[in-house]
Amino acid sequence: MTREERRTGPVVVYGATGYTGRLVAEELLARGERVVLSGRSAERLDALAERLGEGVEDVVPAALDDAAALRDAAGRGPVLANCAGPFARTGDAVLAAATAAGAHYLDTTGEQHWMRRVFDHHDGALRAAGVAAIPGMGFDYVPGDLLCHLVGRELQPLRRVTVAYDTQDFGMTRGTMRSALEMMDGRDVVYEGGRWRTGGARPVREHARFPAPLGRRLVARYPAGEILTVPRHLQVREVVARLTAVSIAPRVVAPVLPAATPVLSRLLRGRLKGALDAAIGRLPEGPPEGERRAVRWTIVAIAEGEGGQRAAGVVTGPDIYGLTAHTIAEGAQRLAAPTFTGVGALGPAGAFDAAELLDALAPFGVQWRRDDALAA
């Protein structure tokens, strides 16, 4: 996509000085885009702009409680990329500013509760402004949402779509840890019988099949974004999301994690969340580059038609945070294209062609394929 084919103007990166925000800004600059850096600390923004050099068009400090400054920042370009989590605490102000400024919005969230707010509470204002918002335009939940669409579209109407995640050697940033606290406090929803409802705290002890060498793995409930996005682009009665226990807990603890999740959810609705949040603040900002690049992940999607037909697919790749920077940059360029006409709250597969976008991730090392043996 050439620059002449895109709307003019830089991409505004809010939360630019954070771990993921810096990666997003660097990826955009590597693609020849101009960027406007925004966030709460003028000093840190100036230091980042000096380090990044050419291509940084402006620096716009904007606190979350300063609506005028946020709108000024959002109005500097046709697209705003929000990298400042946890989004349950920050998202409303930034998305409202983008909407008021007439800018498309995307973010790096993994928080299902925030995504639900975008769909339920911001969609009307977005449509009235003629702009789109795509929450979860990072590793969470671009590959999974696209894969679900590709395996399920030919079998509609569908009885169920199941998506299962596995990550290897994933070191989280402070922002991801804080988002995880928001995700695990029991506010998640499930999609059953063709409708969304509160998921509650039901324990799950199941196994999911992954391609070799992973094989059969113990999984836990996962408040994934696909539960919200997949029913908006597929005709389906139930969407199930699972995450391998070893993805989020040491191997000695993983076997008890599925049963312990309800208890943990109740504890996180009390004082424990604040105590853990404070402890997270004393940890390193994120994994070193070598560790970040060493991460490997696998996502499996299985679609079941009403008539019993089944199809499955798998997508794999490296470097969760690097991929998030890649998908945010890819999404920002597509949103800025004159051919993009979407409005309102959208998921990745609702905003873009699923196969085309997934194929566009191949240079980063993302690979996908049909694997119907996983559905047998």
How sure is the predictor about 169, in pLDDT bands with cuts at 50, 70 and 90? Answer: confident
72 pLDDT higher than 50: yes
Task: Report the percentage of the chain scoring pLDDT > 70.
Answer: 84
Q: What are phi and psi of 208, to 5 degrees?
A: -125, 150
Residue-wise pLDDT for 141-163, tens only, equals: 999 999 999 999 999 999 999 99
Q: Is the pLDDT of residue 97 over 80?
A: yes
Q: With 60 as the cut, is the pLDDT of residue 1 above it? A: no
Distance CA 218, CA 325 (A): 30
The pLDDT mean for the chain works out to 89
- Can you give the chain as a three-state secondary structure string? CCHHHCCCCCEEEECCCCHHHHHHHHHHHHCCCCEEEEECCHHHHHHHHHHHCCCEEEEEECCCCCHHHHHHHHCCCCEEEECCCCHHHHHHHHHHHHHHHCCEEEECCCCHHHHHHHHHHHHHHHHHHCCEEECCCECCEHHHHHHHHHHHHHHCCEEEEEEEEEEECCCCCHHHHHHHHHHCCCCCEEEECCEEEECCCCCCCEEEECCCCCCEEEEEECCCCHHHHHHHCCCECCEEEEEEHHHCCCCCCHHHHHHHHHHHHHHHCCCHHHHHHHHHCCCCCCCCHHHHHHCEEEEEEEEEECCCCEEEEEEEEECHHHHHHHHHHHHHHHHCCCCCCCCEECCHHHHCCHHHHHHHCHHHCCEEEECHHHHC
pLDDT at position 254 over 50: no
Pairing of strands 104-107, 158-168: unpaired
Question: At 183, is the pLDDT very low, low, confident or very high (cuts 50, 70, 90)?
Answer: low
How much is the average pLDDT of 324-349? 97
Residue ranges covered by each domain of the chain: 3-139+322-359, 142-319+366-375
Min mean pLDDT across 3-7, 34-38, 42-46 is at 3-7
Average pLDDT over residues 186-192: 85
Task: Say whether the peptide bond before residue 14 is cis (omega within 30 degrees of 0).
Answer: no
| pLDDT at residue 73 in the model | 97
Dihedral of alpha carbons 151, 155, 157, 162, sign: negative
Give the burial class of 356: count Cβ atoms within 10 A of its Cβ; 0-12 exposed, 13-18 middle, 19 or more buried: exposed
The CATH number given to 142-319+366-375 is 3.30.360.10
pLDDT at residue 250 in the model: 46
Q: Per mean pLDDT, which range of 7-16, 17-26, 45-54, 228-237 is the poorest?
A: 7-16
Domain 3-139+322-359 has CATH 3.40.50.720: yes
Work out the pLDDT band at 5, boundaries 50, 70, 90.
very low
Residue 222 has pLDDT above 60, yes or no: yes
128 vs 2 pLDDT, higher one: 128
Is the per-residue pLDDT at 253 higher than 90? no
Residue 279 has pLDDT above 90, yes or no: no
Count of C-beta atoms within a 10 Å radius of residue 52: 17
Residue 216 identity: R
Alpha-carbon distances, residue 169 vs 12, 21, 183, 319, 322 (angstroms): 31, 22, 20, 10, 15
Residues 63-79: what's their mean pLDDT?
97
- Which of 240-254, 267-281, 293-307 ranks highest by mean pLDDT? 293-307
- Distance of alpha carbon 122 from alpha carbon 204, whole angstroms: 32
Instruction: Say how far apart CA 94 and CA 347 lie, in whole Å.
Output: 18
**pLDDT bucket at 110, cuts 50 / 70 / 90:** very high
Sequence letter at residue 303 = A
Q: Which residues contact 281 (CB under 8 A, 6 or more apart)?
A: 174
The pLDDT confidence band at residue 290, using thresholds 50, 70 and 90, is: confident
Average pLDDT, stretch 35-39? 98
Write down the pLDDT at residue 312: 98
Least confident of 196-205, 232-241, 305-314: 196-205
Orientation angle between helical segments 42-52 and 19-30, nearest 10 degrees: 30
Whether the predicted pLDDT of 252 surpasses 60 = no
323 or 6, higher pLDDT? 323
Confidence class of residue 266 from pLDDT cuts 50, 70 and 90?
Answer: low
pTM summary value: 0.89
Closest CA to 364 of 80, 40, 142: 142
Q: Which residues pair with 59 in a beta bridge?
A: 37
Look at residue 179 in the predicted model and tell me its pLDDT. 56
| 4 confidence band (pLDDT: 50, 70, 90) | very low
Q: Rounded distance, CA 224 to CA 132, Å?
A: 21
String of b and e for 272-296 (b: at least 16 CB within 10 Å)? ebeebeeebeeeeebbeeeebeebe
